[in-house]
């Protein structure tokens, strides 16, 4: 006889009916049964406490189950949970838009809501495409994106992402894009050294190297709809930190060739890189910016794609075919918007940017010494993100990428110590909620150091 549902563990019940993302369901370890969250900690059904070292897929900034966000959500639920957004509006959507425009780089003026990071990118791509058709330049249809990019899992977002295990099975469904070099300094695409290079990988020089952004723009000229980038930090494609000269150069080249610049700040927005938005590192204003993840402090799915007047104005017409025909059932969801407003309040009240600055300092101090380990190829730190790229051979910089077995092995080792991390294969990173204390950060760094030292020893090096 089977046991009644309530007597079975959550894991047993999950195994019978749930399909998890990015998970080989045949060989996976049991999922962690999380029953509660508080601050930087998650609590499991079987009584463990885990520090959330990756902010629950990079979304959480104020900690789990924050009283102020809980109250904002409950209060909004008592008033209005949802309403169609095509011909209705409501206070949370308007107020969040106003609040976003007040903190975004100046010149971004129109907020279009969607559901998540991928849809924020889809909206940006469609806006850019239709911007040119509305202007009577339908041939501008090509997107330029970067190698190692990750923009999400929907079809447009996958098409514009770098070729990877995330996209390969779907290749026949995807549209063509032109791909330019990313400034991956540890593995420089041009074989140069950052200490002496002039960011030649951008291709802004008079005779740009092939496959640089400059060379592609020169070759494709008037057929480019937009250049789409993750400014300063390419996330899921390997946690690649940019020289800010590259970011400044992307804007310059877009201006030079008269095309749009889309900044995908789904990961980097809301302080993660040490500035409110990563574009600020180089005082860049994109034509379109994509936001999600920390937009609601890690509470609810919400995307926002924000455009300049110059983009928006091309959609204003007596001709109804120039309308932006895009929307989602939950566009502008009031619950998500209300939590987004409360999250922005908290951001200022808690001095979030100062916290990220302190976190950056601790991450640098704790991770830099690991460079000496034989399995460590590179250490990168930007804002609240600390990255250690692991290699099999330090000289040859060899590594097997996302499917490297070191990833699951490290995950297990950290879990045994009460730390929840999810390396991207051979790229280990920590990205905790900003509320993490100095003592908690020190503890995280101690675990990282201990586990990597053990791994070095067991690798016999
Ligand atoms: C830069 C970037 N863009 C887009 C996305 C897609 O966001 P979502 O997972 O909410 O669809 C991600 C997700 O990690 C991301 O890092």
- Asked about 434 being catalytic, the answer comes back as no
C-alpha of residue 294 to centroid of ligand 1, in Å:
11
Give the angle 126-230-389 at the CA atoms, nearest 5°: 145
Question: Helix, strand, coil shares of the chain as percentages rounded to 5?
Answer: 40, 15, 40
CA 189 – CA 169 distance, rounded (Å): 25
CA 327 – CA 123 distance, rounded (Å): 9
C-alpha of residue 30 to centroid of ligand 1, in Å:
25
C-alpha of residue 114 to centroid of ligand 1, in Å:
13
CA 3 to chain centre: 42
Give the angle 36-340-55 at the CA atoms, nearest 5°: 45
CA 305 – CA 291 distance, rounded (Å): 6
Out of 60, 120, 266, 299, mutate this one to test ligand 1's pocket (max ligand atoms within 8 Å of CB): namely: 266
CB 302 within 8 A of CB 113: yes
Sign of CA dihedral 52, 274, 236, 389: negative
Task: Give me the tens of pLDDT residue by residue for the chain, a chain 461 residues long.
Answer: 556 666 899 999 999 999 999 999 999 999 999 999 999 999 999 999 999 999 999 999 999 999 999 999 999 999 999 999 999 999 999 999 999 999 999 999 999 999 999 999 999 999 999 999 999 999 999 999 999 999 999 999 999 999 999 999 999 999 999 999 999 999 999 999 999 999 999 998 888 889 999 999 999 989 999 999 999 999 999 999 999 999 999 999 999 999 999 999 999 999 999 999 999 999 999 999 999 999 999 999 999 999 999 999 999 999 999 999 999 999 999 999 999 999 999 999 999 999 999 999 999 999 999 999 999 999 999 999 999 999 999 999 998 888 888 999 999 999 999 999 999 999 999 999 999 999 999 999 999 999 999 999 888 76
Render the burial of 327-357: b for 16+ CB within 10 Å, e for the rest: ebebbbbbbbbbbbbbbbebbeebebbebbe
Give how far Cα 332 sits from Cα of 85, 87, 115, Å. 6, 12, 8
């Amino acid at each position: 006889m089977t046991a009644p549902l309530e007597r079975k563990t959550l894991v047993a019940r999950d195994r019978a009916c749930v399909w998890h993302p990015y998970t080989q369901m045949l060989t996976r370890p049991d999922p962690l049964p999380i029953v509660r969250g508080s601050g930087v900690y998650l609590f499991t059904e079987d009584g463990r406490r885990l520090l959330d070292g990756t902010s629950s897929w990079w979304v959480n900034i104020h900690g789990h189950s924050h009283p102020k966000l809980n109250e904002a959500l409950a209060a909004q639920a008592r008033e209005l949970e949802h309403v169609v957004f095509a011909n209705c509006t409501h206070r949370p959507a308007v107020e969040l838009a106003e609040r976003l425009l007040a903190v975004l780089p100046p010149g971004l003026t129109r907020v279009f809501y969607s559901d998540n990071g991928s849809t924020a990118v889809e909206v940006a791509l469609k806006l850019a495409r239709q911007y040119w058709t509305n202007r009577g330049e339908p041939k501008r249809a090509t997107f330029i994106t970067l190698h190692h990019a990750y923009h999400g899992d929907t079809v447009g977002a996958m098409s514009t992402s770098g070729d990877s295990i995330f996209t390969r099975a779907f290749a026949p469904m995807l549209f063509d894009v032109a791909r330019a070099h990313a400034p991956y300094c540890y593995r420089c695409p041009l074989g140069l050294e950052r200490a002496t290079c002039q960011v030649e990988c951008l291709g802004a020089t008079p005779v740009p190297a092939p496959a640089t952004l400059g060379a592609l723009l020169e070759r494709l000229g008037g057929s480019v709809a937009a250049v789409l980038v993750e400014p300063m930090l390419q996330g899921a494609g390997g946690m690649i930190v940019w020289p800010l000269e590259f970011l400044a150069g992307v804007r310059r080249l877009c201006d030079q060739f008269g095309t749009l610049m889309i900044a995908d700040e789904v990961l980097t927005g809301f302080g993660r890189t040490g500035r409110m938005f990563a574009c600020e590192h180089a005082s860049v204003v994109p034509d379109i910016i994509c936001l999600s993840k920390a937009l609601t402090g890690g509470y609810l799915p919400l995307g926002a794609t924000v455009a300049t007047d110059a983009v928006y104005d091309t959609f204003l017409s007596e001709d109804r075919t120039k309308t932006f025909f895009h929307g989602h059932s939950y566009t502008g969801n009031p619950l998500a918007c209300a939590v987004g407003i409360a999250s922005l309040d908290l951001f200022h009240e808690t001095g979030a940017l100062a916290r990220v600055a302190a976190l950056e300092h601790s991450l640098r101090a704790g991770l830099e010494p690991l460079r000496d380990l034989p399995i460590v190829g590179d250490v990168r730190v930007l804002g609240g993100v600390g990255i250690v790229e692991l290699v099999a051979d330090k000289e040859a910089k060899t590594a097997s990428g996302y499917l490297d077995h070191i990833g699951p092995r490290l995950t297990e080792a950290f879990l045994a110590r009460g730390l929840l991390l999810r390396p991207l294969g051979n790229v280990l990173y920590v990205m905790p909620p900003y509320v993490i204390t100095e003592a908690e950060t020190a503890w995280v760094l101690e675990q990282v150091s201990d586990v990597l030292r053990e791994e070095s020893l067991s690798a016999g090096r």
